[in-house]
Chains A and B, each alone.
Chain A
Amino acid sequence: MKYASQSVAKPYFAFAMILFVGQIVFGLILGTQYIIGDFMFPEIPFNVARMVHTNLLIVWLLFGFMGATYFLLPEETQCELHSPLLAKILFWVFAAAGTLTIIGYLAVPYATLAELTGNKYFPTMGREFLEQPTITKIGLALVFIGFLFNVIMTVLKGRKTVVSMVLTTGLIGLAAFWMFAFYNPASLVMDKYFWWWVVHLWVEGVWELILGAILAFILIRTTGVDREVVEKWLYLIIAMALISGILGTGHHFFFIGAPEYWLWIGSIFSAIEPLPFFMMMVFAFSMLKQRRRDHPNKAAVTWAVGCTIMAFLGAGVWGFLHTLAPVNYYTHGTQLTAAHGHLAFYGAYVMIVLAIISYAWPILHGRQANSLQSQRLEIASCWTMSISMLLITLLLTAAGVVQIWLQRIPDDAGALGFMATQDAITVIYWMRLAAGVSFGIGVFMYLASFVVAARTSEPTEPLLAEGAMS
């Protein structure tokens, strides 16, 4: 660790991992409820478990992004963070708000939570992924603003690299588009249209800038390739992400009441969306090929390269699979959507956060990389999680195909009802649950690798050498 203020990333990473475990536990509950419909009812109804599952994901990724920013910004700007104290305070504010919200979801019926938090005075609740009470949303906005202030002040006083500039632009976009979470008009169509300004413009827009910046940082550090080369790639990748992704939002406007021209615009531009992910994969492999050093942290490199492959598959291939309007007409809102969502989030965002944690955690603990035993276990956990998620995706895709076949393609007289169709998919849901359990084992192996690292903490190389190489 070159800068003392980098250590504020530690609690962010640690808390992210705790929430990750929670997310997976609730994922397994949901997977079970898909088979045994009344599992845990009425204590934890499906909608509550789902809220916890998706909200935990979003929040732990945000913790991961913030930790990543606090870790890499001092190294990029070559100066200490503007205010480590602010970073620590915001951590506790965010952690408390997140925890209280999850407790609220679990402790009382959702309608009661809406009443307790005064939703009627400023209604923003009850929309997918934006279920948080309005007060939590305001708290989140304040955390974003405080965080951005810290980031921008640091960037202004230090060296301005492309990585830090791209990261900062991404974070500004993240905060800016969050504001649409507060817009909830009486018109359902307007509501849905601008809901996507948060959801799509986050995950298929500004989050890709954050992903690109973190990936570029890790590749610069682990391969020693010249910054100029990396930066040119980074610019091109995120340029393609925005050029395809902004109008690509149109693929969500096909069937929610927006005009017909979105069928064309959405189809054409979202068909280009796999390109930036493909470029990211080529970028990672080409940097590895041109590497000037062999970094001892093989686990971090595995996560980073794996991230580009899985993101290309999940966001690129599985996204393209159902993005053209004539296809989406039949697949919209089926298990195929769930398949894409799982692999895309895992590949693009889960893996990049785990990659930066993998790279940063040993350094934050005074060593360049973890012991070989620990790394072996971590790499095995990467494979276990990735293969399991791929299986979950393939099984949900199969479930989606059956659903489309029975419920969507036939005419009114021949179509099977929703519930009957779900019954027909039960066997596939059992297999999906098994793959979910296997993913959980991967998470357990991942956590165990930290314990092994702490017990076998012989550094593979002294950290002092790091300064000479970067």
Chain B
Amino acid sequence: MSERFTKGMARNIYYGGGMFFMLLFIGLTVDTVVAIPERENRDMLTAEVEHGKELWEKNNCVGCHSLLGEGAYFAPELGNVFDRRGMGNEEAFHAYFSAWMKAQPIGVPGRRKMPQFNLTDEEHRALSEFLIWTSRIDTNEWPPNKEG
């Protein structure tokens, strides 16, 4: 590197650049936090949906599945599972979801296994409410198709 570019200049770029972009990031974060309620329909975030999220976490669902593309890639994406399996009908989805959960683990040898979590019907309902709510988040039109 040329002699005219000194260590002091490099240091200033580091501290100045780091600070500037961190502040900009914080500013954009404030704007994002303000925009999120509308994009995620916070008015529809009921206590049941909240309970569903707790169950999602307590059973480490993200350890196999992805949710809005984040998580593990061992099992299907669930951010849009309501669109994929519920066909837009909430009651049909609740029934489907509960039956699916009760049927685990499916006894096909060699197939990837989902454990039996022994949840109650109310818990199944809360979890599926959480997944329905999640499917309505404005994700900039992701995923590309219903298979997730």
Q: Which residues of A are in contact with B by a Cβ distance under 8 Å?
A: 33-34, 36-38, 41-42, 45-48, 50-51, 109-111, 114, 119-120, 123, 125-128, 131, 162, 184, 186-193, 228-229, 231-233, 235-236, 238-239, 242-243, 246-247, 249, 253-263, 265, 329-330, 332-335, 337-338, 407-412, 415-419, 421-422
**In the complex, which residue of chain B has the Cβ closest to the Cβ of A265?**
B28
Interface centre among A127, A229, A263 (most CB of B within 10 A): A127
**Would B68 and A192 count as touching, CB distance under 8 A?**
yes
Give chain A nearest CB distance to B21 CB in angstroms: 4
Top 6 A-B pairs, shortest CB-CB distance:
A47-B63, A126-B57, A333-B69, A37-B112, A255-B142, A235-B10
Q: How large is the interface on B (under 10, 10 to 19, 20 to 34, 35 or more residues)?
A: 35 or more
User: Which residues of chain B come closer than 8 Å to A337, judged between CB atoms?
Assistant: 73
Is B88's beta carbon under 8 Å from chain A? no
User: Which residues of chain A come closer than 8 Å to B67, judged between CB atoms?
Assistant: 188
Give chain B nearest CB distance to A212 CB in angstroms: 10
**Would A255 and B69 count as touching, CB distance under 8 A?**
yes
Per-position binary interface string of chain B over residues 30-69, scored 1 when its CB falls under 8 Å from any chain A CB and 0 otherwise: 0111011101101001000110011011111111101111
Known: A42-B115, A128-B62, A255-B68. A242 touches B17 (CB 8 A): yes
**Would B70 and A256 count as touching, CB distance under 8 A?**
yes
In the bound assembly, the distance between CA atoms of A243 and B13 in angstroms comes to 9
**Would A408 and B62 count as touching, CB distance under 8 A?**
no
**Would B63 and A46 count as touching, CB distance under 8 A?**
yes
In the bound assembly, the distance between CA atoms of A126 and B139 in angstroms comes to 22
Known: A111-B58, A125-B57, A418-B75. A45 touches B145 (CB 8 A): no
Give chain B nearest CB distance to A432 CB in angstroms: 13
**In the complex, which residue of chain B has the Cβ closest to the Cβ of A193?**
B32
**In the complex, which residue of chain B has the Cβ closest to the Cβ of A330?**
B144
- Please pick, from A128, A184, A236, A335, the residue contacting B10 in the complex, using a CB distance under 8 A: A236
Give chain A nearest CB distance to B32 CB in angstroms: 5
Give chain B nearest CB distance to A279 CB in angstroms: 11
**Would A37 and B10 count as touching, CB distance under 8 A?**
no
Q: Could you name 29 residue pairs across A and B whose Cβ atoms are closer than 8 Å?
A: A37-B112, A41-B105, A46-B63, A48-B63, A50-B64, A110-B59, A110-B60, A114-B57, A126-B57, A126-B60, A126-B61, A188-B134, A189-B137, A190-B36, A193-B29, A232-B6, A232-B7, A233-B1, A242-B21, A246-B22, A247-B28, A255-B142, A257-B139, A259-B39, A335-B73, A411-B145, A418-B147, A418-B148, A422-B112
User: Which residues of chain B come closer than 8 Å to A261, judged between CB atoms?
Assistant: 28
Give chain A nearest CB distance to B138 CB in angstroms: 6
**Would B147 and A259 count as touching, CB distance under 8 A?**
no
**Would B39 and A257 count as touching, CB distance under 8 A?**
yes
**Would B39 and A126 count as touching, CB distance under 8 A?**
no
In the bound assembly, the distance between CA atoms of A242 and B18 in angstroms comes to 5
**Would A126 and B144 count as touching, CB distance under 8 A?**
no
**Would B72 and A46 count as touching, CB distance under 8 A?**
yes
In the bound assembly, the distance between CA atoms of A180 and B71 in angstroms comes to 18
Give chain A nearest CB distance to B45 CB in angstroms: 6
User: Which residues of chain B come closer than 8 Å to A33, judged between CB atoms?
Assistant: 74, 112
**In the complex, which residue of chain A has the Cβ closest to the Cβ of B22?**
A246
Give chain B nearest CB distance to A204 CB in angstroms: 12
**Would B115 and A334 count as touching, CB distance under 8 A?**
no
**Would B74 and A232 count as touching, CB distance under 8 A?**
no
**In the complex, which residue of chain B has the Cβ closest to the Cβ of A252?**
B70
User: Which residues of chain B come closer than 8 Å to A235, judged between CB atoms?
Assistant: 7, 10-11, 13-14
- Please pick, from B17, B77, B115, the residue contacting A243 in the complex, using a CB distance under 8 A: B17
Give chain B nearest CB distance to A177 CB in angstroms: 11
User: Which residues of chain B come closer than 8 Å to A193, judged between CB atoms?
Assistant: 29, 32-33, 36
Give chain A nearest CB distance to B6 CB in angstroms: 7
User: Which residues of chain B come closer than 8 Å to A125, judged between CB atoms?
Assistant: 57-58, 60
**Would A333 and B13 count as touching, CB distance under 8 A?**
no
In the bound assembly, the distance between CA atoms of A192 and B68 in angstroms comes to 10
Known: A131-B60, A187-B40, A419-B112. A259 touches B31 (CB 8 A): yes
Give chain A nearest CB distance to B99 CB in angstroms: 18
In the bound assembly, the distance between CA atoms of A205 and B60 in angstroms comes to 27
- Please pick, from A42, A126, A410, A421, the residue contacting B58 in the complex, using a CB distance under 8 A: A126
User: Which residues of chain A come closer than 8 Å to B68, judged between CB atoms?
Assistant: 188, 192, 255-257
User: Which residues of chain A come closer than 8 Å to B144, judged between CB atoms?
Assistant: 329-330, 408-409
In the bound assembly, the distance between CA atoms of A168 and B96 in angstroms comes to 53
**Would A257 and B40 count as touching, CB distance under 8 A?**
yes
Per-position binary interface string of chain B over residues 118-147, scored 1 when its CB falls under 8 Å from any chain A CB and 0 otherwise: 000000000000000010011110111111
**Would B56 and A126 count as touching, CB distance under 8 A?**
yes
